[in-house]
Structure 1
Amino acid sequence: MTPSARLAAAIDLLAAMEAAPRKPADAVANSFFRERRYMGGGDRRAISGLVWDVMRAWRRLGWWLEQKGQVASARLRAGARLLFDGFSLAEVEEMFEQGRFAAGALTRGELSILTPLAGKTLDNPEMPRAVRLELPDWLLPHLEATFGDKLEDELAAMSTPAPLDLRVNILRGPRKEAQRSLACEGLHAEPTPLSPWGLRLPARLPVTTSVAFRDGLVEIQDEGSQLVAAISGVEPQMRVLDYCAGAGGKTLAMAMMMENKGHIVACDVSAPRLEGAVKRLRRAGVHNVERHLLVPGDKWAKRRAGSFDRVLVDAPCSGTGTWRRNPDARFRTTEQDLTELLEKQAAIMDRAAALVRAGGRMVYATCSLLRAENMDQVAAFLARHPDFKLVPSDSPDMPEALRNESSISLTPLRDGTDGFFAAVMERAAPEPEAGIE
């Protein structure tokens, strides 16, 4: 594809994302590229690269364009992004050329808006702080409460493209074997610094076509997500519940930790998500997992009350920790959404707690950076359930720097992972009866 054709496709994709504001951008992009299978891998990466660069600068681009009283269209955002990336005005005009598959020439009005931006830098001291930090206004105080004077550094790290992390499935082979297998196909991965099973590639590369992936030796999973599984401390022969399992990423990691021994139940309220786990479980060689769909009026939980050694609650959340991969998520969550999520998280924790046996543990986790969804939720839960307490994780799979912690908060700046939170809580064992030792 020519540069103009790539630009035209990027503008079309941006317009498709704007037309579906509540749909995740990566889902829109997946549909977009499925309908255009003629595009090569290099074209898709170039188009996605420009689109994601625009999304990472969404509010700042809008601020510049709105100075002229203009609606920030997909064409103007793309053109402005190119100018701020160092392209000259002449180069940008050339990319907006006429032609069947081209972006179409810039109009006189568009040129009058873009021309003053040539040679300028994207950031401007007159921008409101929330605009400069690429946040909705309502979210700024929540993140200030979390990070204080480190906020700008943390958000700068959140604005950089994420690497591609893999989890080696040691049921299939050791990390060095996975590294060698990937290298044979030109995928040179390095061990992650924290997870004992992690490998990292510097960018998104076609891992899913590799032999290591097809044979179940590696799974795509951020290092922070791997550590959420690790802090659970699951062991062979345990009874384990993954209460919000989704497509089973952490289920797979825990099954590996359990050496395929014992029993895991993967629950979710979404049948398609649970169904999506089947292929992954089979590819990984996991056979100690049972799937269960949670439906209203289900008696399943009542029959299994107090029966699990470990319960993982990977709760639905704002997803603020995933902004490196999903920059559009900054603007898809509203203040009302957060209020509803906080209520849902508390209700899920209460239901899951009933399934933990006496002496067993519940791990509460989110991919959020917000204190309201993390330690504040844990504190409120402990106040409602005095039979639970925070306890240090005794998992040998945790890195030395995080070992014996009762909770972890991971960030891209400090840890090089996506943003994750996890806390370990233990249910009190019953008091021995009087006179019995």
Structure 2
Amino acid sequence: MTNKINKTPRYLAVELLERVEKSGAYSNLALNQAITSNDLSKRDAHLLTNIVYGVIQHKLTLEYYLVPFIKNPQKLQNWVKQLLLTALYQQLYLDNIPKRAVFNETIEIAKVKGHAGIRKFVTGVLHAIDRKGLPKIEQINDPLERLSVKTSTPLWLVKQLVKELGEKKASSILSSINQAPKQTIRINTKLETKEQVIESLAKEQIVATPSLVTPLALQIESGFIPTSETFKAGKVIVQDESAMLAVESMNIAPNDKVLDACAAPGGKTTQIAANLTDGMVYGLDIHKHKVKLIQENAKRAQVQTQVQAKQLDARKVSEVFEKESFDKILVDAPCSGIGLMRRKPEVKYEKQLADSKNLHRIQVEILNAVAPHLKVGGILTYSTCTILDEENQQTVTEFLQQHPEFEQVKTQTAANLKPERKELGLAIYPDDYLSDGFYIATLVKKN
């Protein structure tokens, strides 16, 4: 039984969740490794993925439910806690799994991983939950704490979003982030039209429908893109709809010389390159292995002749490039990634408000460093995948205060998103189009 159970999705889920919490391992990388090394069937891989992401996504909610049943939480071993959270998640969120199956295997895992005392403890907790029922979230008096537990979002982030956007919008955003993320792709216009891509995918039994966010995107209704021939041929790039908007808003001309200051893994670099014929895009990253990634993605997208990838800190561009040498500059800045909560649920537990303040300083430094290298009349586009103002408009405002030669103009997209907004920058929130959260500012260099 031991050999059999330690290869099951439920057992592997406990091990993965323990590793993610203890060592900060990335859940997506740990999952891929576990699926491959254990040679899991498609069904088992799906269950493992569902449990791991589900427990991470609903972690604070599940922990709240568990509190009344654990007398000494400080003495609870991490793996035992993860085991109980996986059992709770399956009972609450997975309709097609019988309670008996969840109970039996959870108790068996406790026996195999621990000792008789742990097995007895886990059995007792499961039966107590079954007998007494779970505490009601509605009984939490404080509305912000209640929203925190209900949406499994740290209290500091709930408070910050309510402060910046109001309770109604914050609640709408946080209620949307626990939905499954959409699988979206960008059409490589260098190689094929939208119609050709849809047709190519259909031949591979992959159903794709046009996006309302951008004409460059397709939503995948069924099928797995990374193993498709269409993907391998470079005709499509896996990318979120919101992430495509920064380059789309730049209006790249065929002969532009463009700097992509923070380029890895190269999604936006290849998007820029797809618009170039005689022009060139220089993609920078501080890490050597990530520069290689940019080059590999450019080659797969068949735009390598328009891409030059360089290992360079964006704050040191003056060491390599002449002043006023670029028509367009993109700063897709390092950020807290809070806009990616749906796709990378662990991000909301890893970050603190202090991280945003530190990143704000780095973001301003990068903008200051690249500004002299833009031609007069050129466009500097600033983007992030966060929804916190400190890293978005506040960064842009501080830069503009130091650079009167720059002016912020209204960011425009092909689908004319949010035309009625008063703000010049474009903020896409996770509840707007069920895409990633994103921010884009467009800055023009004046005479």
Q: TM-score, normalised by structure 2?
A: 0.87
Stretches of structure 2 lacking an aligned partner (at least 5 in a row): none
> How far, CA to CA, are the matches of 1:169 and 1:158 in structure 2?
28
Q: What is the SS of the residue equivalent to 1:80? A: helix
Q: What is the SS of the residue equivalent to 1:386? A: coil
| Inter-CA distance 235–145: structure 2 relative to 1 (3 Å threshold) | farther
Q: Which has the higher contact order (CA 8 A, sep 6+)?
A: 1
> Does the 8 Å contact 2:291/2:309 carry over to 1?
yes
Q: What is the SS of the residue equivalent to 1:227? A: helix
Q: What is the SS of the residue equivalent to 1:354? A: helix
- Shift of residue 398 of structure 1? 1.6
What are the within-5 Å matches in structure 2 for residues 97-176 of structure 1?
A: 98=108, 107-118=119-130, 120=133, 124-127=137-140, 128-129=145-146, 130-148=148-166, 149-176=168-195
Q: What is the SS of the residue equivalent to 2:329? A: strand
Give the equivalent residue in structure 2 for 1:11.
Answer: 14
> Does the 8 Å contact 1:97/1:103 carry over to 2?
no
Q: What is the SS of the residue equivalent to 1:414? A: coil
Give the letter aligned to residue 84 of structure 1.
Answer: L
> How far, CA to CA, are the matches of 1:357 and 1:209 in structure 2?
42
Q: What is the SS of the residue equivalent to 1:257? A: coil
- Shift of residue 163 of structure 1? 0.8
> Does the 8 Å contact 2:315/2:366 carry over to 1?
no
Does 1:53 pair with 2:65?
A: no
Give the equivalent residue in structure 2 for 1:435.
Answer: none
Give the equivalent residue in structure 1 for 2:64.
Answer: 63
Give the letter aligned to residue 26 of structure 1.
Answer: N
Query: How big is each residue's C-alpha offset from its partner over 1:288-328, in whole Å with a ceiling of 9 and x where there is no partner?
Result: 11111115995754642221111100001110111111001
Query: How big is each residue's C-alpha offset from its partner over 1:183-224, in whole Å with a ceiling of 9 and x where there is no partner?
Result: 111210111112111111147x53122110111111100000
> How far, CA to CA, are the matches of 1:378 and 1:102 in structure 2?
55
Stretches of structure 1 lacking an aligned partner (at least 5 in a row): 430-437
| Inter-CA distance 3–207: structure 2 relative to 1 (3 Å threshold) | farther
Give the letter aligned to residue 334 of structure 1.
Answer: Q
> How far, CA to CA, are the matches of 1:227 and 1:329 in structure 2?
22
Q: TM-score, normalised by structure 1?
A: 0.89
1:81 aligns with one of 89, 92, 95: 89
| Inter-CA distance 335–391: structure 2 relative to 1 (3 Å threshold) | closer
- Shift of residue 420 of structure 1? 0.4
- Shift of residue 64 of structure 1? 2.0
Give the equivalent residue in structure 2 for 1:279.
Answer: 296
Number of aligned positions between the proteins? 423
Give the letter aligned to residue 45 of structure 1.
Answer: H
> Does the 8 Å contact 2:65/2:134 carry over to 1?
no
Give the letter aligned to residue 89 of structure 2.
Answer: R
The structure where helix makes up a greater share of residues is 2
| Inter-CA distance 11–387: structure 2 relative to 1 (3 Å threshold) | same
- Shift of residue 35 of structure 1? 3.1
> How far, CA to CA, are the matches of 1:94 and 1:132 in structure 2?
28
- Shift of residue 101 of structure 1? 12
Q: What is the SS of the residue equivalent to 2:88? A: helix
Q: Which has the larger displacement, 335-344 or 304-313?
A: 335-344
> Does the 8 Å contact 1:311/1:361 carry over to 2?
yes
Q: What is the SS of the residue equivalent to 2:370? A: helix
> Does the 8 Å contact 1:317/1:373 carry over to 2?
yes
Does 1:265 pair with 2:275?
A: no
What are the within-5 Å matches in structure 2 for residues 33-432 of structure 1?
A: 33-36=35-38, 38-67=39-68, 68-69=70-71, 70=73, 71=76, 73-85=81-93, 89-96=99-106, 98=108, 107-118=119-130, 120=133, 124-127=137-140, 128-129=145-146, 130-148=148-166, 149-202=168-221, 205-258=223-276, 260-286=277-303, 287-295=305-313, 300-301=318-319, 303-393=321-411, 398-402=414-418, 406-429=424-447
> Does the 8 Å contact 1:266/1:289 carry over to 2?
yes
> Does the 8 Å contact 1:14/1:51 carry over to 2?
yes
Q: What is the SS of the residue equivalent to 2:137? A: coil
Give the letter aligned to residue 185 of structure 1.
Answer: E
Query: How big is each residue's C-alpha offset from its partner over 1:323-378, in whole Å with a ceiling of 9 and x where there is no partner?
Result: 11100111111333222112111111111212211111111100001111111111
> Does the 8 Å contact 1:4/1:97 carry over to 2?
no
> Does the 8 Å contact 1:84/1:122 carry over to 2?
no
Give the letter aligned to residue 22 of structure 2.
Answer: A
> Does the 8 Å contact 2:137/2:149 carry over to 1?
no
- Shift of residue 136 of structure 1? 2.1
Give the letter aligned to residue 396 of structure 2.
Answer: V
Q: Which has the larger displacement, 308-317 or 141-150?
A: 141-150
Give the letter aligned to residue 164 of structure 2.
Answer: T
